[in-house]
Structure 1
Amino acid sequence: MANEQLDTPKRVLFGLSMKLITMIIAMIMVVEVLIYLPSVANFRINWMDDRVHIAGVAARVIETVPDTMDLTPEMISRLLSSAEAEALVVRTNGQSQLIERPDMPMPVAAYAADTRERAPLDLIAGALEIMFFGSNRTMRVIGVPMDSQDVVVEVLVNEALLREELITYSRNIFWLSLLVASFTSFAIFLFLNGLLIRPISRLTNNMIAFRQDPDDARKIIVPSERRDEVGVAERELAAMETNLFTMLKQKQHLADLGLAVAKINHDLRNTLGSAQLLSDQVANLDDPHVQRLAPRLVNTLDRAIKFCQSVLDYGRQKSVPPKFEMVDVRALLDESATEAAVRMHPEIEWRNGVEDDVIIKVDPDQIARVFTNLFKNAREALETHALQNGDHPFIAVNMSSDGDMLRLYVEDNGPGLSPRAKDNLFRAFEGSGRAGGTGLGLAIAKELVEAHGGELKYLDGDNGTKFEICLPR
């Protein structure tokens, strides 16, 4: 099921589009069959009427011949050939006249077909019977010629002539019907494809993509402006995916918070215990000792307060989907460096190696938060540790482009990360590289980058610290 979005041949053969085209063609062909049956019956009766009318004309020709003049065999042959008949019988006023070929014996009719009887079902049955079971039998066609109500004509014709024309007519009707059905189904398909098939395919592909990676906010569908049922489905799906995305992130935060409870209790108990001991000493000492111990007491309590506050902030944090917009990367980096007190730092050099006019579609607030966290960590590391060999401290950002991905490299020439920090990097409450840290900054930064469909990773090197941020353009 996970590969259905990419399995184009299977989707073409068994998808909704092919089923729709097949259904339309089938329905049109069924309608054509319902039209064809009376049509072929009408063709058969018209064919027999033509033979009767031609025979009526032949009868009037015979009547114009004087009694003293006999019909020659050549005249009889022409009259019968014009009607494609083997013999004619003309009945007028109770008298009958037989016209037959003198060189051929009188054929015996296998059955009679009276054109004066036009029941619809009988006409259809007669046409189908000739088409499927006809042979070289002789049939007797009985009818009244046009404008000759007192004359009844019987025409003996070979059934094979009518059957051949019925088959030709049916073949032409079939190809014409198939052509009409194809063009009609294609036209209806183009209309329904834009109205239903493509929106439904978009919904289906989005659900498959979101199920595969629900942590990527880029997979949340953007609903259209449609006001019909498809538009309602798009908006409801977007709301459901947004709620699910937020819920998954919130649950992840709660899970991380639960894992950290034991560590928080232990560290907080030790920290507050130290503060309590110092408070007891301060209460029993004179003023000079108070002045010496008071700063330690304040620092210890501050550490406890900051630690508790950071944990509470992480637990209350709400993961909302990014609001994507076009952002100038260089300007965003400068703003983040200013926010992290790096850009105007008196001792740390800021290097922005990103080219001008590099535009990317991201949430500016969330990505700025990622860079601010990285810049703050680098600044604190450079401020805390003195550099060896007299190197001038710097924080730099460089970029490279890899197809549809933009890669940004944040590095400094500080002391680097400790082995413990590297082993637990991006893990809340465990990946801090300095004493008293919680490791929440990198954990949140990684989460925000992944919500954009990107990746944040640490690049191990000899000197300093270097992170790579990979974002889709």
Structure 2
Amino acid sequence: MKHEGAPQGSVVPSDEEGGSAVAGDSFGQHRLGGLSGKLLLLTVAFVMLAEVCIYVPSIANFRNTWLMDRLTTAGVAASVLAETNTIAPRLQEELLRTTGAVAISLDQGSRRSLIAMSSVPLNVDFVIDMGAVTPWSAIVNSFQLLTYGGDGVLRVIGAGQMGHTQKVDVVLPIALLQKDMLAFSVRILGLSLVISVITASLVYVALRALFIRPLHRLTRSMERFAESPEDSSRIMAVSGRRDELGDAEIRLAGMEEALSRALHQKQRLADLGLAVSKINHDLRNLLASAQLFLERLEHVEDPTVSRIAPKILATLDRAVGYTQAVMSYGKAQERPPQRRLLALRRVADDAADVLGLTDHDTVAFENKVPEDIEIDADPEQIFRVMVNLMRNALQALEAEKDKTLVCRITVEAEREGACVRVRVTDTGPGIPENIKKALFKAFHSGSKNGGIGLGLAIVAELVKAHGGSIRLDETVPGTCFCLEVPDRTM
């Protein structure tokens, strides 16, 4: 004999899983591999899981209600028959047919009466005391009854009528209760499938409209932009959504715009390199010819010519060297520095001579570098650093039209241990705010006319090659560049 604590077996979850697959196939089979199909199947699965959680207590409640209905019917009839002491065979048959029971007895405490019996029950598999039923025992017993296979009977004990102290003892075929429970399960399963399909369809339509279509729009925009990144008209148009997808659109459009701008800059660099390479050969020939003429002028016995010719010749030598390495920035590298100890004050004077600052009409030049400051650097490269910084300052000051403004370029330096700090300052208008973040990047020219934005990029590269650094000092009026060049490590 089995009681309510027996192990539970259940086949209902497997049936419902099969129902989920069928429902999913009916709506999502055309795109099961896509995000829409996966959302559809997941929605069906979750709804069916929720229905299973609802079904478990529902089937237990159905069992309890079914058994109580049989006990109530049997109890009312048994009480009437017991009070009248009339138990005719016809009435017994009618009572058994109505309740579906095999045997009915009434326990009145002091005596026990057999009310009706169609046959002697030989194998009672379950005994259920309705007064001792708990939610968990009802659930366990319900699945035991659903999975039961055989022709056994169950015995149910409980109060037949409210307010009566007697108990009714009914013996019922298990197959009768099992049939009704299976019919109830089929109805629940069908209702669950309908609810899950309707819910999944609504969720599918909503998610496709809210998420899938915008994601497709993002994908199509990326594909279209990838076909021609240089075309700024292919940058994604922001829809104005105020959610995460709208944020993704803004970020994608920003990324595409930045990439398009970067490609334009790279194309500009390529065009510049091509143009420079075309004129490089002819320029070198012209400079070489100028050197030959100056070498002849050196033999002229004129004090002015003798004083100026060596400086012009040195300048031409540097220009020839520049033409030989003119593409080095385009190759993204400079030759390694060939360091020597240099008199920094003399380097600043030479740069000022080349730029014409020593006798400039409107711009004053002050070389405040101490005589004893020596810098460990490549002669040509540190000269280029000074020329670029001082040329930028000169161009900014020459653009000023107000004669009352002070126009002055100052070079200062100091040594701290194994490092030389150099400051190039001018009294100009300063660096515009919009280019400070990209100040040392190529093609981010400031306000000067005709500039292409390579001077500071070259300076930063040359200083970095020496193991140093350069920065803009914003605490000083005008423009002040501070660079540090450490000595060689021995």
1:55 to 74, 87, 106: 74
Cα distance, 1:189 vs structure 2 = 2.8
Q: How does 1:100-119 map to 2 (within 5 A)?
A: 100-101=116-117, 104-119=119-134
Report the counterpart of residue 257 of structure 1 in structure 2. Answer: 272
1:186 equivalent to 2:201? Answer yes
Report the counterpart of residue 86 of structure 1 in structure 2. Answer: 102
Aligned partner letter, 1:36? Y
Residue by residue over 1:300-339, the C-alpha shift from the partner in whole angstroms, topping out at 9 and shown as x without a partner, is xxxxxxxxxxxxxxx9xxxxxxxxxxxxxxxxxxxxxxxx
How has the CA–CA distance of structure 1 residues 150 and 195 changed in structure 2, closer, same or farther, with 3 Å as cutoff?
same
Take 1:194 and 1:262, find their aligned partners in 2: how far apart are those partners? 55
1:73 to 80, 89, 93: 89
Take 1:10 and 1:121, find their aligned partners in 2: how far apart are those partners? 40
Residue by residue over 1:180-229, the C-alpha shift from the partner in whole angstroms, topping out at 9 and shown as x without a partner, is 11211222333333322222232233224433442344432111111222
How has the CA–CA distance of structure 1 residues 164 and 206 changed in structure 2, closer, same or farther, with 3 Å as cutoff?
same
Q: Which runs of 5+ in 1 are unaligned?
A: 1-8, 275-314, 316-473
1:234 equivalent to 2:253? Answer no
- SS of equivalent to 2:127: strand
How has the CA–CA distance of structure 1 residues 12 and 267 changed in structure 2, closer, same or farther, with 3 Å as cutoff?
farther
Residue by residue over 1:265-320, the C-alpha shift from the partner in whole angstroms, topping out at 9 and shown as x without a partner, is 3466789999xxxxxxxxxxxxxxxxxxxxxxxxxxxxxxxxxxxxxxxx9xxxxx
Report the RMSD for the aligned CA atoms in angstroms: 3.0
- SS of equivalent to 1:190: helix
Residue by residue over 1:350-381, the C-alpha shift from the partner in whole angstroms, topping out at 9 and shown as x without a partner, is xxxxxxxxxxxxxxxxxxxxxxxxxxxxxxxx
How has the CA–CA distance of structure 1 residues 11 and 203 changed in structure 2, closer, same or farther, with 3 Å as cutoff?
farther
Aligned partner letter, 2:52? V
1:95 equivalent to 2:108? Answer no
Take 2:282 and 2:229, find their aligned partners in 1: how far apart are those partners? 35
CA contact (8 A) 2:101 2:172 kept: yes
Take 1:79 and 1:182, find their aligned partners in 2: how far apart are those partners? 44
CA contact (8 A) 1:134 1:163 kept: no
1:246 equivalent to 2:265? Answer no
CA contact (8 A) 2:121 2:153 kept: no
Take 1:232 and 1:109, find their aligned partners in 2: how far apart are those partners? 69
- SS of equivalent to 2:132: coil
Take 2:152 and 2:121, find their aligned partners in 1: how far apart are those partners? 14
TM-score (norm 1): 0.51
Cα distance, 1:134 vs structure 2 = 4.2
Cα distance, 1:88 vs structure 2 = 0.3
Cα distance, 1:143 vs structure 2 = 0.9
How has the CA–CA distance of structure 1 residues 14 and 216 changed in structure 2, closer, same or farther, with 3 Å as cutoff?
farther
Report the counterpart of residue 38 of structure 1 in structure 2. Answer: 57
How has the CA–CA distance of structure 1 residues 89 and 105 changed in structure 2, closer, same or farther, with 3 Å as cutoff?
same
Take 1:165 and 1:213, find their aligned partners in 2: how far apart are those partners? 69
Q: How does 1:30-429 map to 2 (within 5 A)?
A: 30-65=49-84, 67=85, 70-101=86-117, 104-266=119-281
Take 1:265 and 1:223, find their aligned partners in 2: how far apart are those partners? 46
Aligned partner letter, 1:239? G
- SS of equivalent to 1:113: strand
Cα distance, 1:14 vs structure 2 = 2.0
CA contact (8 A) 1:73 1:101 kept: no
Take 1:250 and 1:169, find their aligned partners in 2: how far apart are those partners? 73
Aligned partner letter, 1:87? A
Taking only the aligned residue pairs, the percentage that are identical comes to 39
Cα distance, 1:99 vs structure 2 = 2.8
Take 2:219 and 2:166, find their aligned partners in 1: how far apart are those partners? 73
How has the CA–CA distance of structure 1 residues 15 and 43 changed in structure 2, closer, same or farther, with 3 Å as cutoff?
same
Report the counterpart of residue 421 of structure 1 in structure 2. Answer: none
How has the CA–CA distance of structure 1 residues 137 and 218 changed in structure 2, closer, same or farther, with 3 Å as cutoff?
farther
Report the counterpart of residue 40 of structure 2 in structure 1. Answer: 21
Cα distance, 1:52 vs structure 2 = 0.3
CA contact (8 A) 2:123 2:153 kept: yes
Aligned partner letter, 1:249? H
Aligned partner letter, 1:118? V
Residue by residue over 1:135-181, the C-alpha shift from the partner in whole angstroms, topping out at 9 and shown as x without a partner, is 32110011112324311001110001111111111111111112111
- SS of equivalent to 2:252: helix
CA contact (8 A) 2:96 2:102 kept: yes
CA contact (8 A) 1:86 1:107 kept: no
CA contact (8 A) 2:104 2:117 kept: no
Cα distance, 1:111 vs structure 2 = 2.4
Aligned partner letter, 2:153? T
CA contact (8 A) 1:100 1:106 kept: no
Cα distance, 1:32 vs structure 2 = 1.1
How has the CA–CA distance of structure 1 residues 73 and 108 changed in structure 2, closer, same or farther, with 3 Å as cutoff?
farther
Take 1:212 and 1:14, find their aligned partners in 2: how far apart are those partners? 27
Take 1:15 and 1:213, find their aligned partners in 2: how far apart are those partners? 28
CA contact (8 A) 2:87 2:115 kept: no
Q: Which runs of 5+ in 2 are unaligned?
A: 1-27, 290-329, 331-490
How has the CA–CA distance of structure 1 residues 179 and 106 changed in structure 2, closer, same or farther, with 3 Å as cutoff?
closer
- SS of equivalent to 2:131: coil
Report the counterpart of residue 362 of structure 1 in structure 2. Answer: none
Cα distance, 1:11 vs structure 2 = 9.0
Cα distance, 1:106 vs structure 2 = 4.4
Residue by residue over 1:361-419, the C-alpha shift from the partner in whole angstroms, topping out at 9 and shown as x without a partner, is xxxxxxxxxxxxxxxxxxxxxxxxxxxxxxxxxxxxxxxxxxxxxxxxxxxxxxxxxxx
CA contact (8 A) 2:81 2:115 kept: no
- SS of equivalent to 1:225: coil
Residue by residue over 1:204-262, the C-alpha shift from the partner in whole angstroms, topping out at 9 and shown as x without a partner, is 33224433442344432111111222211111110110111121132123213313322
CA contact (8 A) 1:134 1:159 kept: no
CA contact (8 A) 2:157 2:170 kept: yes
CA contact (8 A) 2:102 2:171 kept: yes
Take 1:154 and 1:35, find their aligned partners in 2: how far apart are those partners? 31
- SS of equivalent to 1:14: coil
CA contact (8 A) 2:76 2:161 kept: no
Cα distance, 1:123 vs structure 2 = 0.6
Aligned partner letter, 2:245? V
Take 1:199 and 1:259, find their aligned partners in 2: how far apart are those partners? 43
Take 2:75 and 2:29, find their aligned partners in 1: how far apart are those partners? 64
Cα distance, 1:58 vs structure 2 = 1.4
